[in-house]
Amino acid sequence: MSSFAERCGVHDAARESAVLEAARTIRDSNLELVRVAWCDVHGIARSKVLVAAAAERALRSGVTMVSTLMLKDLAGRTVYKVFEPGGTESLPGFGQANNLVLLPDPASLRHLPWTEGAGWLRADVHFADGRPVELDPRRVLLRALERLAAAGLGLQCGLEVEFHIYRIEPGAGGLDPRLDPDNTSTPGVPGSVSMVHAGANMLSEQWFDQAEAPLRIVQRTAQALGMPLLSLEAEMGPSQVEAVFDVTDALTAADNMSLFRNAVKMALQRAGYHATFMCRPPFPNIMSSGWHLHQSLVNAADGSNAFRRETPAPGSTTLDAGHTLSARGEHYLAGLLHHAAGMTVFSTPTVNGYGRFRPNALAPQSILWGRDSRGAMLRVIGECGDDDTRIENRIGEPAANPYLYIASQIHAGLDGIERQLPPPRATDAPYGAQAQRLPSSLGEALDALSADTALVEAFGRPFVDYYARIKRWDLQRYDEAQDKDLFHRREYFGRI
C-alpha cells in the first residue's frame, strides 16, 4: 500500500532521502518531542506535538488535525456551522469537524533552542484523499509563485520587522494573571507588563544596552533556527524593537517570518518577557509597528535582478520610475499601486493595524511611491546598474499572514506587468491631501478587495469569500465590543 505522502503526489526519491535523514537526526539528536506545525489564516502557528517515533512515521503518513482549525476567527470561535446541513456547503471537503492531514516537510526539521529535546517540522495541509487544501495560506503563496514562474520570474524578499518586547510582571501572590482560573475567557486577559526601554531615542546605544537581555534571546533564537538575521535595533517607540533579515526567495522569507514570530514569543516567554507583533500595543505614547517588505523580481533563467536598469530611460528624471527601474519593474510598481487598496487587507488584517496609517509617522497614508521616501507606501531603492535595486512596500503590519501578504504582491505586480500599466511620477509630498488614501479600516479594506476583480480572480473567489467571512466575523465582534480598548488588549496584545 502506498504511503499518504505518495498519495499526495509529493514523495519521490529526493523526499525519501530527506525523510531518512530527518529520521536519523531525530534519533541522533535525542529529540523526545517533535512539533508538527502549520500557519493558520491569521498567521498564528499551531502544531500537533508527537513523540519521536510517531514523528518519524508522520513524515510518510502525516498526522491528522480537526478541520475547524481552518474555520476560526482570531478569538478561536468557529465561524462556519459545521454540524448543520449546508453549513459548509461553500467549502467542499469540510464539515462535521472532519479530519485534515498535516504532512511534514522533512527538510524543515529544526531543533528548538529554548527547550530541551524538542524538534519542529513545518507541514502543509491535505484532505484525507491526498488533495492539497487550497485554503491553506502556504498553498495560496505556492500558487502565486507558480504563476510567477510561468512568466519566467522569481521573487526575492528581505524583511524588516518591528515589534514590541515587555517584561512580564507577576500578579497577586506571584501568579501570572493569564493563568488565573478566575480570569478564564476567550480570548484571555493578558497580564501586567513593564517596558524594556523607554523609547523616544531611536537607535540609542543606551536603550539598546537596556534591552540587550531580551534582544540576545531574539538573536540566538533566530540564528539557531538558521534564519539570516542581519541586525537588531532599539526603535523609536517605548519597548519597540526591530529585526532585519537578509534577502531570500519569497517562500523561504514567508516560512522564516512565520517561524520567527512564534519562536521569539516562546523563547522570550520562557525568560519572563512578552513579545507582541500587534501593530499598536494598548498603552499611551506608543509607536506603531510595521513590517516593511523589500522585494525584487529575478529572472528564472540566470537569477539576475529583473528590476535592474543599466541607464536611465531617455528623457526621464529622478521622479520617473524609469530613471531607476527596468520597464518590467515600472509595470510591477504600477501594479502594486493599482491594487494597493485591494491588497491592504492581506498586509493589514487586524482592526488594530489601521491606526498606523497616519501622517508624518514613517508609515504610509496614501497610495503613492517615492524615491527613497519612508513616507510613501512604496519606496524605490537603488541606482542604475545596482543589483540591489528593489521596491520596499511599507504597508504591512507585523501581524500579517506572511504567505498572504507576499502572494498579494505577486498577483498585483504581475497584473501590472501583463497589462503594462504605467506608474505615476514619484511623490515629494507623501502626506499631501490630493492623493488617494489607503483604506482607513478593516471594513473598508474588505470592501476594496471585493471590488478588485483582478485580485479576486487571482486568489480565487472561494478563497476570497472564505477569508472575508472570517475577517468580517472579527470585525463584527469589534463593532459589538462595548470596551474597545479591552478588545485590543485581549484580542491582539495577549495573542499576537
Q: Count Cα neighbours of 185 within 13 Å in the Cβ-side half-sphere.
A: 13
Q: Which three cell numbers stand for residue 299?
A: 529572472
**Concatenated DSSP letters of 184-233:** --SSPPP-EEEESS--SSTT-HHHHHHTHHHHHHHHHHHHHTT--EEEEE
Contact 37, 123 (CB under 8 A): yes
Strand 390-396 to strand 291-299: parallel, antiparallel, or no bridges (unpaired)? antiparallel
Instruction: Indicate whether 203 pLDDT > 80.
Output: no
Q: What is the pLDDT of residue 435?
A: 85
Check: CB of residue 331 under 8 Å from CB of residue 417: yes
DSSP string of 320-380?
Answer: SGGGTB-HHHHHHHHHHHHTHHHHHHHHS-SSGGGGG--TTSSS--BS-EEET-SSSSEEE
Q: What CATH class has 149-493?
A: alpha beta
Amino acid at 6: E
The pLDDT value recorded for residue 1 is 62
Cell numbers that stand for 405 in this block = 501578504
| pLDDT (mean) for 133-156 | 98
Would you state the pLDDT for residue 188?
A: 61
Contacts of residue 102, Cβ cutoff 8 Å, sequence gap at least 6: 36, 38, 48, 58, 62, 63, 64, 65, 123, 124, 125, 126
Q: Which residue has the cell 489601521?
A: 354
CA distances from 240 to 90, 125, 202, 275 (A): 42, 34, 10, 10
Distance between CA 289 and CA 236 in Å, rounded?
Answer: 10
pLDDT tens digits, 472-490? 999 999 999 999 998 998 8
Lowest-pLDDT choice from 19-28, 158-167, 197-206, 360-369: 197-206
Does the pLDDT of residue 173 top 60, yes or no?
A: no
Share of the chain above pLDDT 70, in %: 95
Q: What is the pLDDT of residues 261-280, one digit of tens each?
A: 999 999 999 999 999 999 99
Residue 293 has pLDDT above 80, yes or no: yes
Segment 371-377 mean pLDDT: 89
What gap in Å lies between CA 10 and CA 2, rounded to an integer?
A: 12
Between 361 and 378, where is the model more confident? 378
Alpha-carbon gap, residue 140 to 133, rounded angstroms: 9
- The structural domains of the chain, with segments of one domain joined by +, span 4-133, 149-493
How is domain 4-133 classified at the CATH fold level? Ubiquitin-like (UB roll) (3.10.20)
Mean pLDDT in residue range 344-365: 92
pLDDT tens profile 295-315: 999 999 999 999 999 999 998
Measured CA distances, 60 to 30, 65, 133, 221 (Å)? 20, 16, 18, 29
The residue-averaged pLDDT of 310-331 equals: 94
Lowest pLDDT segment from 20-24, 99-103, 394-398, 424-428: 424-428
pLDDT band at 374 (very low <50, low <70, confident <90, very high): confident
Alpha-carbon distance of 418 to 399, in angstroms, equals 30
